Amino acid sequence: MSTSREQAISALETLVASGSMALTDNDLKIFPRNPEEIEQYNKRLSEIYHAMFYGFFHCAAVGFVLVPENRIAEKFGHSIKDNYPEANEVFLRFAKTYWTLRVLTYDLMEKDMEWIGAHLLGKLEQDIGPVFFPFPGRAKIAPSIREETQRELIQESGATIDIEEFITGNPILIRDRKSESRVSWKILLLPVFGLSFAVMAAIPGALIGLITGLFGFHLIAGIIGGIFFFITYPAQRRR
């Protein structure tokens, strides 16, 4: 058995147990099976995954690592503290559990993914990641909605995570709020700058129109004056 599979089996057992469920010998026999056989175990696997999902939060409350923590920097180039310098300890413990889960799933995807246990861990990472550790991209969740979802999941899990501390020291939410604030100011200032530009753009046109209008007025006045002079000035004087 490969090291990554051994770590995966250990992670499955820990996550399920942390979710207040005990695996049976039959459960352990399901994990190594091919994912194509998953349908016949759907009911039991659904129960196992439910325990895994909430068990994750209990592990994250204490910063339990599913692979050695130094593997995070080896795999992704930065340690947890380097990546989240503004985070508090509550968030850092949570991040350790998630990122060691991510390292483990990456290892499995590279060489040993085709078994049911690996698919369960992959699904867990995909369900936790987008809510708590989103990757840059066009599809973004508003910080207020992300925070609300995080609060609900932590509360539902029953894990001993101080929710207020977690939210306060969550660098991703902090960064998202700053980014959202900058965008909001740009949106608010856009009509002001737009109006200013429109006024400035209109000034040259208005001046040209005024000059043209005055010129036209004087031309017309001159023509009318000339006709009036021609009619009223005595003919003998015009010779």
pLDDT of residue 74: 96
How far apart (Å, rounded) are the C-alpha atoms in residues 172 and 170?
A: 6
Q: What number is the average pLDDT over the span 152-164? A: 98
* pLDDT exceeds 80 at position 1: no
Q: Count CB-CB contacts under 10 A for residue 146.
A: 20
pLDDT of residue 23: 96
What is the pTM assigned to this prediction?
A: 0.75
What single-letter amino acid sits at 167? I
Token pair, residue 162, equals 């101080």
Q: What number is the average pLDDT over the span 70-75? A: 96
pLDDT of residue 26: 96
Q: What number is the average pLDDT over the span 82-97? A: 97
Most trustworthy range by pLDDT among 168-172, 184-188, 198-202 = 168-172
How far apart (Å, rounded) are the C-alpha atoms in residues 44 and 194?
A: 61
Give residue-wise pLDDT tens across range 73-88. 999 999 999 999 999 9
Q: Are 121 and 55 in contact (CB under 8 A)?
A: no
Is the model more confident about 183 or about 143? 143
* pLDDT exceeds 70 at position 192: no
Confidence band of 18 (pLDDT split at 50, 70, 90): very high
Token pair, residue 136, equals 């840059």
Confidence band of 2 (pLDDT split at 50, 70, 90): confident
How far apart (Å, rounded) are the C-alpha atoms in residues 37 and 116?
A: 8
What percent of the chain stands above pLDDT 70?
Answer: 73
Q: Are 21 and 47 in contact (CB under 8 A)?
A: yes
Q: Are 113 and 119 in contact (CB under 8 A)?
A: yes
* pLDDT exceeds 70 at position 34: yes
* pLDDT exceeds 50 at position 33: yes
* pLDDT exceeds 60 at position 50: yes
Q: Are 100 and 11 in contact (CB under 8 A)?
A: no
Give the mean pLDDT of the chain. Answer: 82
